[in-house]
Amino acid sequence: MDGHQEQPVIVSKIGIIGAGVSGIAAAKQMSHHNPIVFEASDSIGGVWRHCSYNSTKLQSHRRDYEFTDFPWPDRDNSEFPSHLDVLNYLNSYAHHFDVLKNIRFNSKVVQIRFVGGDRENSDGAGGVTAGGDYGTLLPGHPVWELAVQTNQSDTIQWYAFEMIVVCIGKYGDIGKMPSLGRNKGAEVFKGKVMHTLDYCKLDEEAASQLLRGKKVVVVGFKKSAIDLAMESALANQGPEGQTCTMVVRTLHWTVPHYWIWGLPFFLFYSTRASQFLHERPNQGFLKALLCLLLSPMRRGISKFIESYLLWKLPLEKYGLKPEHPFEEDYASCQMAIMPENFFSEADKGKIVFKRASKWWFWNGGIEFEDNTKLEADVVVLATGFDGKKKLKTILPEPFRSLLEYPSGIMPLYRGTIHPLIPNMAFVGYVESVSNLHSSELRSMWLSQLVDEKFKLPSVEKMLSHTLQEMEVMKRSTRFYKRHCISTYSINHSDEICEDMGWSTWRKKNWISELLSPYGSQDYEKED
């Protein structure tokens, strides 16, 4: 695939890779440029389509996960939508705004080539100039070429674009596999081993058959692992049913619902007043001082929430109380909603827990560093995804090496632009309370940037800003590599609004501004 098989086709100025939530948001916001969206599968939806179990539900209420100009049909329904509800909503959105006409399904991008450096541009368009300015995103000539494989055929078609928007995200496609050493891997185990990615592909009957009457081991303790253990318990009801063992390395706080001691959860983290308690990038001396003075209150809120969770859930009984404060899980977007009957299944002995930092396979199951052995028929690895690997397989050098700082985080200005990669944007790589909302707002910002409604600052300023964000995240949580902005999401949105020339205060009065939660509907487009 190194040589051109044929002359690249120019079909649009803008190419978008991926048709998940971020891809369709970007395609809709930049529809006036008729972008081409390449989607490797046969449908939109991304992780909602390909990485969801039968029991997977949205982790937030409908009105916290909706587009600004497309409310849910039953947005006041308090139940959490299923993954099928979310898929229906996304499909309705794509049909309503005629996004599907720009999507090429079963079209996988297998290679990206940089061609922008072939031309000399006195104004720096199409790249980063020696003076440190970032050029225009639509320079008038191809900057990137994409190799696209359609319908898994052997033929590769090349396309040329002035700009690329990468929306393949951090989840799905490539599972993170544990490194276990020689003669300790899955090959020595007589039973069945699969990653959650493989489990997601099973229909309800096949999933139930896989788990029913089997000794199941789930490695992990995040949302996907908890849901999977619950599905195993439900498939093993009755006296013939077997136990599901969760192998837990790192504990995280879970919440039963969005109320704490009778108070709505948003009061603690999702209002402008509550976010004053948390450090934010580029906050200035006075705000930094205020944040320092209010730090006991911030820690007190975390303790207050922990006290409720320890009262409501039997975390101590099962040895599941995390050693780190609740606020660190919130600051890294790792707070999960616990399924309603999870602990009643644990009480029945259908779900048990094993704390272990090191484990490996033996022919009959899993062995631990304390020399104990656990028999298993099925081992499911809920060990996460390797999103950077997806990007690194298609992005050429030297850009591949720029994807992460030593900190492990991809430096993205406004969560979208890598200061050292020209004419490329990334949507869906920074997490927040609602990833749909942040992807849509960044797509609006990107659309205006492409249309030159505002200019980016110098490369040095952008790099400095991303470094400050990383430092804030490092001080907020030990899990900072997830690149989550939840504790300063309103401030982040303020900066995006300022760039676009919008008012940063989006509510009707100052009481609402300070004490009511911010959501997608607050960011409807300004004329």
Q: How far apart are the first and last CA of the chain?
A: 46
Name, in order, each residue with C-beta under 8 angstroms of 450's C-beta and a sequence gap of 6 or more.
14, 30, 33, 137, 138, 163
Q: How many domains does the chain have?
A: 2
In a domain, 403, yes or no: yes
HEC-encoded secondary structure of 195-259: EHHHHHCCCHHHHHHHHCCCCEEEECCCHHHHHHHHHHHHHCCCCCCCCEEEEECCCCCEECCCE
In a domain, 293, yes or no: no
In a domain, 512, yes or no: no
Domain shared by 342 and 409, yes or no: no
Domain shared by 111 and 208, yes or no: no
In a domain, 85, yes or no: yes
Domain shared by 240 and 344, yes or no: yes
In a domain, 308, yes or no: no
Domain shared by 418 and 321, yes or no: no
Domain shared by 374 and 437, yes or no: no
**Can you give the pLDDT at residue 525?**
86
Q: Which two tokens stand for residue 85?
A: 């509800």
* Boundary (domain end) residue, out of 337, 364, 381: 381
From the list 104, 85, 87, the residue with the least C-alpha distance to 27 is: 104
In a domain, 230, yes or no: yes
pLDDT, mean of each 10-residue run, the chain (527 residues): 66 96 98 97 91 86 93 89 95 97 96 78 45 79 95 89 93 80 89 93 91 96 93 92 95 94 94 92 85 92 97 96 96 90 95 94 93 95 85 90 78 94 94 91 97 95 92 91 90 95 93 91 85
CATH of the domain at 147: 3.50.50.60
Domain shared by 376 and 391, yes or no: no
Domain shared by 221 and 152, yes or no: no
In a domain, 82, yes or no: yes
Domain shared by 371 and 442, yes or no: no
Cβ contact 308:260 at 8 Å: yes
Domain shared by 403 and 347, yes or no: no
Tracing tokens 């809709």 back to the chain, one arrives at 28
Distance in angstroms (rounded) separating the CA atoms of residues 287 and 279: 8
pTM of the complete model beyond 0.85: yes
In a domain, 522, yes or no: no
HEC-encoded secondary structure of 322-371: CCCCHHHHHHCCCCEECCCCHHHHHHCCCEEEEECCCEEEECCEEEECCC
Tracing tokens 């440029």 back to the chain, one arrives at 33
Distance in angstroms (rounded) separating the CA atoms of residues 159 and 35: 12
- For residue 400, give its domain range: 10-172+386-487
